[in-house]
């Protein structure tokens, strides 16, 4: 007698079934109800298993994504070296080591208990970090033109960000398992949709930077570029501000000083230093400082919608914004902002068509603001904020 027949006999003996035909149905329904009661009383544990499974699979995918992107960067560096006539046997291990070292590179926040001079310290740290990153990539690509090096620097910066996210999430995942604390896992689980969006955005950004394509964040520099095409004359102003373009543009009799990061290599420039140079060294007396930047849209807002306002349109850690605000308040210059709305993935990935179309609207808005607020013969500063990768001047 096999096991099923024994079970059927047991069911019949215990009175759970009155005949052989319906004994199985009653047994099945009992199993279902027991399972449901089990799920009801142990749903917390079931949820924790699910959290752990979801976070674990996120980490596995993120790890795979980082590995793929590291390989992408290594192959790109390899191709650049080969196209430049370097020896056939490129040392990939050395490239990988450099990139992995840069991925673990840390920037230690300055002490903020005593805030005097904090912004100067932050600016120094940011500049040092950027220089260090570029020098390391430059050592891998010694005879490659700077534009291409800057694109690789941006890609490695994105990799570093991905690696940081991976390490932090892994930390809480392991900590939760170590102390059997479901609440740590729960917090990470709740953050996963936002993290996933950010990781997707960074993933898109790395390949976009390597290809030298403009990202959505390049909307500000692109606005300035297109504005300059509408000027009757444009001349570049000589200066010593790194990675920054400063030009003088004649727009319907107004003297428009344009400031943007110097493209087409991927960089955000030193826009605050550019404005300080114009106001303090060239003695420009602008009627306005107009900043144009990509801004994160709220859910429900349309990609490519434009908002105007007062203040400095600029993201980041706030060092440059602080410096521009300080100059403006010191000399009493009104600040005007034009924002082009987009989501985080759109800002970091290849520029979407909607944003490209919105740039034309932003140019028209800037022209209107200048026509309305700046008289003929007066001066104004126009700043294109954002990463200028893929956009020249």
Partner 1 sequence: MSFEYYYITVVGLVIFIVVIVIALVMNERYFRLIKSYLSQTKEAEAHGGGQALSGEVEVLMCPRCGFTKTIPFRLGDYVGKVTNEACPNDGERLVVHAIYYSGPSSQGL
Asked whether position 317 contacts partner 1 by CB under 8 A, the answer is no
Six-digit token string for 159: 């990799």
Size of the site for partner 1 (CB under 8 A): 43
Q: Which is nearer to partner 1, 47 or 126 (CB)?
A: 47
Q: Is 199 in the site for partner 1 (CB under 8 A)?
A: yes
Among 345, 348, 374, 386, binds partner 1 (CB under 8 A): 345
- Choosing from 160, 188, 214, 380, the residue that interacts with partner 1 (CB under 8 A) is 214
Torsion angles phi and psi, residue 268, rounded to 5: -105, -5
Beta bridge partners of 339: 293, 307
Judged by CB under 8 A, the residue of 7, 10, 33, 194 near partner 1 is 33
Beta strand residue intervals within 206-319, DSSP E: 233-236, 244-251, 254-261, 286-296, 306-310
Binding status of residue 28 toward partner 1 by CB under 8 A: yes
In angstroms, give the least distance from the CB of 47 to partner 1.
12
User: Which uninterrupted H or E stretch holds 338?
Assistant: strand 335-342
Cis peptide upstream of residue 264 (ω within 30 degrees of 0): yes
Distance CA 92, CA 74 (A): 7
Which pair of tokens denotes residue 232? 């009757």
In terms of CB distance, is 335 or 358 closer to partner 1?
Answer: 358
**Residue 392, interface with partner 1 (CB under 8 A)?**
yes
β-sheet bridge partners, residue 380: 256
CB 24 within 8 A of CB 13: no
Judge contact between 152 and 210, C-beta under 8 A: yes
CA dist 343 and 97 (Å) reads 34
Single out the segment in contact with partner 1 by CB under 8 A; choices: 111-119, 179-187, 351-359, 367-375.
351-359
Residue whose C-alpha is closest to residue 255's, from 79, 387, 377, 89: 377
Q: Which of 176, 223, 270, 393 binds partner 1 (CB under 8 A)?
A: 393
Residue 377 CA to its chain's centroid (Å): 40
12, 47, 52, 65: which one binds partner 1 (CB under 8 A): 65
158 near partner 1, rule: CB under 8 A: no
Q: How far is the CB of 36 from partner 1 (least distance, A)?
A: 7
Asked if 212 is part of the footprint of partner 1 (rule: CB under 8 A), the reply reads yes
Residue 351 interacting with partner 1 (CB under 8 A): yes
Give the nearer residue to partner 1 in terms of CB position, either 18 or 128.
18
Question: Which listed range, 126-134, 165-173, 333-341, 346-354, lies at the site for partner 1 (CB under 8 A)?
Answer: 346-354
Q: What tokens appear for 364 in the block?
A: 């028209």
Mask: binding to partner 1, 217-256, rule CB under 8 A, as x and -? -----x--x---x---------------------------
Angle at 249 between CA 246 and CA 251, to 5 degrees: 150
Q: Does 264 bind partner 1 (CB under 8 A)?
A: yes
φ and ψ of 56, to 5 deg: -60, -45
3-class secondary structure, 369: helix
Smallest gap from residue 212 Cβ to partner 1 (A): 6
Q: In this structure, are residues 206 and 345 in contact, taking their beta carbons and an 8 Å threshold?
A: no
- The reply on whether position 204 binds partner 1 by CB under 8 A is yes
Strand, coil or helix: 392: coil
Q: Which residues bind partner 1 (CB under 8 A)?
A: 19, 21-22, 25-26, 28-29, 32-33, 35-36, 54, 58, 61-62, 65, 193, 196, 199-200, 203-204, 211-214, 222, 225, 229, 263-264, 345, 349-353, 355-356, 390-393
């Amino acid at each position: 007698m096999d096991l099923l027949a024994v079970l059927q006999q047991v069911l019949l003996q215990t009175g759970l079934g009155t005949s052989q035909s319906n004994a199985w149905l009653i047994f099945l329904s009992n199993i279902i109800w027991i399972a449901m009661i089990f799920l009801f009383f142990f749903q917390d544990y079931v949820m924790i298993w699910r959290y752990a499974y979801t976070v674990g699979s996120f980490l596995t995918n993120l790890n795979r994504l980082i590995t793929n992107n590291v390989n992408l960067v290594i192959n790109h560096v390899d191709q650049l070296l080969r196209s430049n006539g370097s020896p056939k046997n490129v040392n990939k291990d050395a490239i990988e080591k450099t990139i992995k070292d840069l991925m673990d590179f840390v920037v230690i926040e300055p002490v903020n208990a005593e805030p005097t001079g904090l912004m100067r310290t932050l600016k120094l740290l940011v500049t040092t970090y950027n220089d260090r990153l570029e020098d390391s990539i430059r050592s891998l690509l010694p005879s490659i033109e700077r534009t291409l090096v800057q694109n690789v620097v941006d890609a490695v910066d994105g990799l570093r960000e991905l690696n940081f996210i991976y390490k932090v999430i892994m930390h809480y995942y392991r900590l939760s398992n170590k102390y059997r604390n479901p609440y740590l896992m729960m917090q990470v689980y709740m953050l996963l949709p936002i993290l996933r969006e950010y990781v997707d955005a960074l993933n898109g950004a790395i390949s976009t930077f390597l290809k030298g394509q403009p990202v959505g964040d390049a909307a500000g520099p692109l606005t300035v570029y297109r504005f300059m095409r509408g000027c009757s004359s444009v001349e570049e102003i000589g200066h010593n501000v790194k990675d920054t373009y400063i030009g003088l543009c004649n727009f319907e009799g107004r003297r428009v000083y344009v400031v943007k990061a110097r493209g087409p290599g991927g960089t955000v420039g030193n826009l605050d230093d550019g404005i300080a140079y114009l106001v303090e060294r060239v003695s420009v007396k602008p009627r306005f400082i107009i900043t144009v930047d990509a801004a994160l849209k709220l859910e429900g807002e349309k990609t490519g919608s434009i908002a105007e306002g007062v203040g400095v349109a600029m993201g980041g850690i706030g060092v440059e914004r602080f410096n521009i605000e300080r100059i403006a308040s010191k000399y009493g210059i009104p600040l005007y902002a034009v924002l082009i709305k987009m989501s985080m993935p759109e800002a970091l990935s290849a520029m979407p068509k909607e944003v490209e179309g919105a740039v034309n609207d932003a140019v028209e808005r800037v022209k209107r603001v200048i026509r309305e607020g700046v008289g003929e013969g007066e001066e104004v500063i126009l700043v294109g904020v954002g990463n200028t990768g893929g956009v020249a001047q």
